[in-house]
Chains A and B, each alone.
Chain A
Amino acid sequence: MKLKKMGIALLAAGLMASSVPAMADLVFPALSYRTGPFGANGAENADGYLDYFALLNERDGGIGGIKIQTPECETEYKPEKGVECYESTKGSGALLYQPLSTGITYQLIPKVTADKIPMLTPGYGRTSSANGKVFEYVFNFPANYWDGASVGVKYILDQEKGDLKGKKITLLYHNSAYGKEPIRTLEELSKKHGYTLKTIPVDSPGQEQKSQWLEIRRDKPDYVLMWGWGVMNQVAIGEAAKMGFPMDHFIGIWWAGSENDVKPAGEGANGYKALTFHGVGKDFPIFKDIETHLVAKGKATNGGKNIGTALYNRGLYFAMLAAEAAATAQKIHNTKDLTGAQMRDGLEALKLDKARLEALGLPNFAPEVTISCENHGGSGLVAVQQWDAKAGAWKLVSDFMPSDREIIDPLIKADSEAFAAENKITPRECK
């Protein structure tokens, strides 16, 4: 009987959320996914995220002299696990969540609002959370899917010298909530620019896309946009290359723009393009700091093997946004230790200009970011990157371009107001 009781006590203790960092630190939980079908992508992203904070700790002694804690929690890209990670880390003084999955984002939106901990979902999540009046604690700057769709079309417009009349654009999308995101924007834009839009879904996971690509081959669209994820990307790029589809007319969203997506197709992937909202490559001063402070000391996550990949850079950027917001919050509230609400104020006052980026060792890495109380979505500037198979590297082939606010703003307004009505939220006033 005694043994049994001890067993139960041990079990209860084991189930208890552990790892309670000292309250004095700044805590940025890292919800990552390193296993499962998307694990390869998640690992690169998480490495960048963790390395940036590690660098701040090593080089600057944290933010404003306060050390940073990054308790990592594996979500496996599953909503349930994400919720578990959130609940097990939120009590440790967490300042900001970046769940790295749209599914988890949706679970957390009501929770973070109730717990007053901000959440940042750059380039994913609920697009209409750009409306800060409704979504007080949710941010999705610097760009969202609708920005992506809009800039994708704008880029094509530039390529075609400003005329899309009679052109055919096909959207190949992951048959899920994520994949369906751009459809409404693209439909609106097709009315404006006069192209014909065709949408072709691919069921998850998407290892077999013969039907879809034969259809594309028959239709001969002028451009293919892709909202893909996981194995769907590799197979689609492979099929496109084999069919001889002109790769520079094939543009993926930023989640279809990592080295993982193009490498399996080898030479054939050369010229494939993807959208991005940050710079690519290792050609920034900050990587020297990472080399000296992390890699040389053996402190880089995963031995630093992912440094410089597109997703690593994205993780780095995500962390940088969080750190900058924290520093801003420290200034506004004139305190070193932060609360979730103060962090929110920091995010809403975030201003990243050219000079600041240069000071951070990331000159021209990303467009300027200015966030305000009503605008949680940033400027929505997006660029296009292209894969060079010989060099084995991405390079930017366009400037950071603004999206079509005329189209997107009403969509955001409508969707966020619907959300507010459904959940009985009164949009707050922004001064």
Chain B
Amino acid sequence: MAEPTQDGRKIGGTLLEVKNITLSFGGVKALTDISFDIKEGEIRAIIGPNGAGKSSMLNVISGFYHPQQGEVWFRGQKRASMRPYEVARQGIARTFQNIALFKGMSTLDNLMTGRITHMHKNLFWQAIWKGPAEREEIAHRERVEHIIDFLGIQAIRKTPVGRLPYGLQKRVELGRALAAEAKLLLLDEPMAGMNLEEKEDMCRFILDVNDEFGTTIALIEHDMGVVMDLSDRVVVLDYGKKLADGTPNEVRNDPAVIEAYLGVGH
């Protein structure tokens, strides 16, 4: 059932589907009747002008916002209303628009926190440390070190992330999301505020992640060039409504999208 793309990657069946999501904050509608799906292995972009409801959409998927109407289906099952950490345990990881790293902790600890959903040794073993807890720690440390190598952040392993420059912080945040080894990775403007060089690096990471780990990625991005290059399919939101949904080419030529982005009568 997997259909190969031009570059030979495998796109599988539907991983996540949102159906008729409506979300409002005290009368203000942030999302109206949104439906779309994300397929296994693909890179899915969500675009739209400021205030279109993109981040709200990610927050709904992460379980941080609870929509008034609509359903979220994940891996073929309807998701009951759950707390964000339960969503994370199901295998959804994400980054944030404004960096949400744990500033008091080192890079290494931030990444290790990303693996929290996979670590299970209880308080007692943790207190003893020697034995099971240490073995678990080392096992996970190895996987995290792999990600550190992958992102090329070996030198800042022990640096508190609060002291790092912006670009590196973004990279660490990506690393933390990667460490979760999630089925679905949500990236909220991973390239915002970066210079060209940094953007190129970030694009490479995203493609590599998708390639190497086969991770499904949904991302929000403003840089159209990046979006068109990276993504397999794009969904366009405007004022909380879905404008268009399709491959980059389809979306680029959609009159409604052109109107929303460039204004009437250009």
- Judge A-B direct contact (beta carbons within 8 Å): no
